[in-house]
Amino acid sequence: MELNSDIQRHISESLLADRWETRQIAHPSYPGSKWVLVGPGRRGRLVMMADLFDASARLSTSSAPRTGHVAPDWQLVARFASAEMVLAMARVAETAPDTEPVAWSQRLLNRRLRAIGWRRVTGRLRAVFGSTAVWESPCGMYRLGVSVQQGYRVRTAELCGFDAEVSIGPTTPVAVVVSLAEAVTANPSDSGKDVA
């Protein structure tokens, strides 16, 4: 589904109210133009675009390094997601600890998902020895699959549902992934209204 320019504008205006800055504004009359927003702490960067080949919202870290701290670059790509999901992830991206990426913090991710009502569909033994652990939202409409490579490091994760398709990189902070899961849990019936 192509990104809706009204939804992109809504997301941008909401983030501007949170002191995000626009670096580029999409123009509906120019195919391939995009929104580029940077968070107040210069950490989060949100790029929303729509053209014939790619309609997505990409949330990532900004390239500006902080003094004496090397943070792993991460990126999360939402091909389908509600405005609430994108806003929740973007707001948390500014404060999420870089020291807790999904790749190395599976136990933390598991605890946080359980705390908001998600349940693991794959059994414990299969999750340990298999290559993918699957979580399901309380409403049963969304699934989060976490693929693990040899050595128990997360390779990638993906959240899917009737109105959501989000690819999650291994160095994405756990807090950002949980904010997405919380947004899905909070409004399961409303999440399809404003699709970005």
From first to last of the 196 residues of the chain, give the pLDDT tens digit.
345 777 888 999 999 999 999 998 887 777 778 899 999 888 889 999 866 666 688 998 865 555 555 556 788 999 888 889 999 999 998 888 877 888 778 889 889 999 999 999 887 666 556 677 889 999 999 999 988 765 556 678 899 998 889 999 888 889 999 999 999 888 665 444 455 5
SS3 of 53-89: the string is CCEEEEEEECCCCECCECCCCCEEEEEECEHHHHHHH
The answer to whether residues 118 and 138 touch, using CB atoms and an 8 Å cutoff, is: yes
SS3 137: coil
For residues 154 and 172, what is the distance between their CA atoms, to the nearest angstrom?
11
For residues 90 and 76, what is the distance between their CA atoms, to the nearest angstrom?
10
For residues 179 and 30, what is the distance between their CA atoms, to the nearest angstrom?
32
